[in-house]
Amino acid sequence: MPKPEVLTPQAADFPQWYQDVLAKAELAETGPVRGTMVIRPYGYAMWEKMQAEMDARIKAAGVRNAYFPLFIPESYFRREAEHVEGFSPELAIVTHGGGKKLEEPVVVRPTSETVIDAFMAKWVQSYRDLPLLLNQWANVVRWEMRPRLFLRGTEFLWQEGHTAHATEQDAHRFALKVLNDIYADFMVEILAIPVVLGRKTQRERFAGATTTWTAEAMMRDGKALQMGTSHELGQGFAKAFGITFSDEEGRQSLCWQTSWGASTRLMGALVMAHGDDQGLRLPPRVAPVQVVVLAVRTQDGAGEAAAGIAESLRRAGHRVELDTRTDLSWGRRVVGWELRGAPVRLEVGPRDLAEGKVVLCRRDSNSKVPVALGQVDAEVARALEEAQSALLSEARRYLEDHTSSVASLEEAEEAAQTGFGVLAGSALAGDSGEATLNEAGVTIRALQRKDGSLPGTYEDLSDLVAVVARAY
């Protein structure tokens, strides 16, 4: 457990606050190679909960998990010109192995479109093989010049889905199903983070995609964070790799494809969307420890009572940790669990037990209430549900309070200093307007219709509104 050192206040230095939390809550540390990271057990337990929730949604959509190689022949990337051009600055390329120069250099996986497509070309023969829906959980390498733990790294963990379809319409529908039913549902219901959904501009879309759909969230410093993306790939990769199928009339056609991914960047989002000056505030549905039971002392029956309460809560299905480390100061123990964001803390001491109660503390609101021993299970269950809902409500209010409608590029730049600006597309004046924003450190995060709904794939920018912000 970390020492109860004071964190840098968010208002004083948000980036330093973020680094302080990662270190003192024991989530992650930088690795020995620039841009790599070591995810510590408490942090990895958070990622495992995220992984399990997303994986369940992925499988519910009919997708099956597989695994593909870490090393990809360089020639595979050369087959799709826009794709290789977009990734070239980030590629890590192996030229020697086993003490010898390789006949062909291999790329360390930055994403798997090319290697998966090579096998899709073998596996897809007829319309009966479609749709082919695949996902893999893996690590990827993109040579990052400005790494930041969880947010940008040379190596990170993620899931990447890849699908092939018989029609453009089916691919389009599936790309949006991923965006809504997998990503947005998980982010809102589990992470308690509201997201802005929309289409990326051509400047911001994935290299090799025809359309990129995005889920964007606002962090507590007003900046945007891209939480996950779903891409319509058209037929470009299918043409490059020969992914064809015979339809019911025996005619040969190219497949239509999608790809989509979400990464350990979500860990950074969880910290920055909910954390406060005391550390993490974890939504109960993703918290590795939902309830910590602290024995004030182990004598006078308090230790036994705390153990019994913890066991009862475990049987009720909660993730519980019993803390009887009375050799540490009470303040250090309390601050340590606040820092780690445990949603509910139960304080069990002899005096409270003599009165037939314990103290229930909620991390989201920092509230404390006495609870009768006979009501502990019910009150903890209620507190966990209320904490989950409260964090989402608070994040929604923050998003609403820091989003404003703007009428010009100048107003958009100003709004982006503290949150999101919603700018009518006609005010952008095409690519030149977007370039002007980019020069000011502001990007178009998502394109939407004026009512906030998702636009069509080919709707013109001038008919849409653009959500603009500074971004990580």
Q: What is the dihedral of CA 234, 239, 241, 244, to 10 degrees?
A: 90
Question: What is the tens place of the pLDDT at every residue in 403-453?
Answer: 999 999 999 999 999 999 999 987 876 678 999 999 999 999 999 999 999
Question: What is the tens place of the pLDDT at every residue in 209-242?
Answer: 999 999 999 999 999 999 999 999 999 999 999 9
Structural domains in the chain plus CATH codes: 14-274 (3.30.930.10), 291-383 (3.40.50.800), 403-469 (3.30.110)
Give the 3-state secondary structure of residue 13.
coil
Question: What is the tens place of the pLDDT at every residue in 84-129?
Answer: 787 888 999 999 999 999 999 999 999 999 999 999 999 999 999 9
Question: CA nearest 425: which of 416, 417, 437, 440?
Answer: 437
The lowest-confidence range among 195-199, 287-291, 294-298 is: 294-298
Whole-angstrom distance, CA of residue 305 vs CA of residue 178: 47
Phi, psi of 470 (to 5 degrees): -75, 150
Residue 220: CA atoms inside 13 Å, Cβ hemisphere, count? 25
Q: Which amino acid is at 374?
A: G
Give me the residues paired with residue 326 across strands.
none
> Does 60 have pLDDT greater than 90?
yes
For residue 55, CA distances in Å to 61, 135, 155, 282 come to 10, 9, 21, 20
Whole-angstrom distance, CA of residue 392 vs CA of residue 241: 44
In the chain the first and final C-alpha atoms are separated, in Å, by: 29
CB-based contact 353:302 (threshold 8 Å): yes
pTM of the model: 0.95
User: What's the chain's length in residues?
Assistant: 472
Give me the residues paired with residue 382 across strands.
none
Question: What is the tens place of the pLDDT at every residue in 345-382?
Answer: 999 999 999 999 999 999 999 999 999 999 999 999 99
